Structure formats: structure tokens, C-alpha cells
Amino acid sequence: MGASDPEVAPWARGGAAGMAGAGAGAGARGGAAAGVEARARDPPPAHRAHPRHPRPAAQPSARRMDGGSGGLGSGDNAPTTEALFVALGAGVTALSHPLLYVKLLIQVGHEPMPPTIGTNVLGRKVLYLPSFFTYAKYIVQVDGKIGLFRGLSPRLMSNALSTVTRGSMKKVFPPDEIEQVSNKDDMKTSLRKVVKETSYEMMMQCVSRMLAHPLHVISMRCMVQFVGREAKYSGVLSSIGKIFKEEGLLGFFVGLIPHLLGDVVFLWGCNLLAHFINAYLVDDSFSQALAIRSYTKFVMGIAVSMLTYPFLLVGDLMAVNNCGLQAGLPPYSPVFKSWIHCWKYLSVQGQLFRGSSLLFRRVSSGSCFALE
């Protein structure tokens, strides 16, 4: 997440991912393919009705009567359950914030500590940059322990807004009418159902992302102030005023397009891959078929989140680029004309996956560090 997150987990878009963020989110991207088997069993056959005594019409389900989506979030418990989800999300966001904070500083290219010499598996000497723990310790030395939570407030608000938005959309557009995938469906029917479910998830994810993105931008800018020791963005309300005055309304949505593209690619890639793997590669005659299918979606989420990481990186860099902070100006970063310009620049530099690893960080060949 990046540093997404109504991220999606910070580093896996919540998929993945909580990976943000960030944010922000992995359960929000759940697909249809992971729960195919759990919904595949047909209900027991009903008793045959007597020809003179026709069976009474079926009563509407409880979740249709109360207007909710069933489960914990239905009926009178819906507000309480939504508040519980917001509280749990806030706790996870707060605990994972130092991880996202360090990740963002690495993404913008801030390396305050020199690399160390180590050896790889072949015994050759290589340069390693500080890991997450070393980087976090450095932040504590500079700003204290509270410094690890710089930019947390707007991020909490962003994730809460995203959760509330998704809950409200489920009430306005209930998913009850979406047909569930069954293993008795033929390939064409099951694929149609997966496409319908994924389209519904994509709609919710895109709307919640757009509404929460202004707070995400503020959170990113608050965090990267560590680089130049600035204090331009100190609070949510004052930051809103500064951005609107200097950049206008569009300033709240810089970096939104690559984030949206990453979310869409993640959802479709994860759901369709999991569906085709479960349908074509997992044989029903295999004794562990149900167990394997239950983990397919999880594994695909990790794999697809790695492939979509460049979208997360570009979106976060655009959020802080040319905003008056040192981290978004040369020499840390060129002034990008668009997110495509940023993508091309990172691609030429071989930095499209910068910050994707926080433990074993080798110095790239294009780095300014040299092995003596």
C-alpha cells in the first residue's frame, strides 16, 4: 500500500493490500473465486407438495427484510458492526503505520544512512542498505518514538472514510442479487458470475478510493516532511487550506489515476486467475481440492500485488511531487509532468520496485553508492 492504502495492506494493498494501506484494505478486495466451494453445496431437497395442498410461497429472507446484506452487518446491528470494523481498522492502521512510514521514505529515495558491506549466497561482496528496523531506529533517534507515527491522523481518517463509504454503498447497492458461483455451473456461467462479482467490488473500491484520496495525499505529505525537516503540513484542516490555495481542487487528487489502475488490475487479475486455476488446474477428484481452492485466492493476491506495486509507487511519488517539500523536488526527484512521465523515469532508472523490500535491500547498479 501503498504506501496503499485505503491501501490495500500497506504493501499488498490490503490484499493483499493490508498489505495500505496501506490502507488500507485487503478484505475489501475479496473476490468470488476464493469462496466457490463453500457456496457450492445445494440445499436439501424439499418435500414434495401435495397436489391439493400447494406449498405456500416462500417468505422473504431476513436480510432482504431488514435491507442489510446479512451476517453481522444486518438489521439493528449494522451501525454497531460498522463502528466495530472502523475501530479494528484503526487499530491495524496504527500498528502498521511505522512500516508504511519507513516504506514511503525509501520510496522517495531518502537514504540518510550509508550502506554496509555484506555477502550474498554466492559469497560475493555486495552493498546492503539499512533494513526497516535500522531505519526505524534512526527515526526514533531523530524524532523520538512518537516520530514513527507522523501523518497517522489523516491516514486514520482516510481509512475510516473508506470503510464507511463501502458500508454505505452496500446498503444503497446491496450485493444480494449477485448470483453465487457453484461447482455445478458450467464454465461460461461460472465465469459470468465471477465477472459480475468483480465488477461490483471494483465499483466499491474505486468510489471509496476517490473519496478517501485527499486525506491520503495529506498523510503522504505529512510523512515526507521528515526529509527536509519542514512543518508545512501540520494538521488536516490547515493542510486542506494550503493545498486548495496552492494547487486548487486537483491538488487533492494527484496520484489518483495510478492508484485506481492498480486497484482495478489487482481485483481483476486476482479474481480471474484464482477462478481459472480452481476451474482448470484443481481436479475435483483430488482429496485436498477444497483446501487448495480455499488458498488459491490468497496466493494469487500476493503474486498480483507484487506485479501491481509500480502503480502504488508512482501514485505515492506523484502525491508528494512538486508540492513545496524537499522530498518532491530535485535532487530527490525531478518535477514530473504526469504520472506517465514518473513511470518512464523510474523504469529507465530501474527503480519501479523501489521500496518493495524492507528487509534485504541491495544497492542497485545505478545507485550513487559504490563498493570500494
Alpha carbon distance 48, 90 (integer Å):
52
User: Which grid cell is 53?
Assistant: 395442498
Is residue 19 domain-resident? no
Contact 312, 256 (CB under 8 A): no
Confirm whether 178 is domain-assigned. Answer: yes
Nearest by Cα to 254 from 193, 317, 166: 317
Number of domains in the chain: 1
Nearest by Cα to 110 from 257, 372, 316, 310: 316
* pLDDT (0 to 100) of residue 57: 40
Q: What is the pLDDT of residue 186?
A: 58
Which whole number is the average pLDDT over 28-50?
Answer: 41
Lowest mean pLDDT among 124-128, 150-154, 341-345, 361-365: 361-365
- pLDDT tens track for 314-325: 999 999 999 999
Per-residue pLDDT tens digits for 280-328: 887 777 777 777 888 888 899 999 999 999 999 999 999 999 999 999 9
* Burial class, 282, CB count within 10 angstroms (exposed 0-12 / middle 13-18 / buried 19+): middle
pLDDT, tens digit, for every residue of 210-258? 999 999 999 999 999 999 999 999 889 999 999 999 999 999 999 999 9
Using alpha carbons, list the distances in angstroms from residue 298 to 5, 26, 29, 150, 218.
18, 10, 11, 31, 31
Q: Distance (Å, rounded) from C-alpha 263 to C-alpha 24?
A: 12
Check which CATH number belongs to the domain holding 326 and give it.
Answer: 1.50.40.10
- How far, in Å, are 97, 260, 282 from residue 10 at the CA level? 8, 15, 31
Is residue 227 a part of any domain in this protein? yes
Grid coordinates belonging to 241: 487550506
Is the residue at 236 inside a domain? yes
Residue 126, pLDDT score: 85
Query: What pLDDT is stored for residue 42 in this prediction?
Result: 42
Q: Is residue 297 part of a domain?
A: yes
Q: Is residue 265 part of a domain?
A: yes
Instruction: Show the domain range for 271.
Output: 79-347
In a domain, 187, yes or no: yes
Bridge partner residues of 53 (DSSP): 50
pLDDT at 181 over 90: no
Q: Tell whether 36 is covered by a domain.
A: no
pTM score, two decimals? 0.75
Cα torsion 316, 320, 23, 86 to 10°: value is -160
Cα dihedral sign for 157, 163, 166, 167? negative
**Mean pLDDT, the chain, whole residue set:** 79
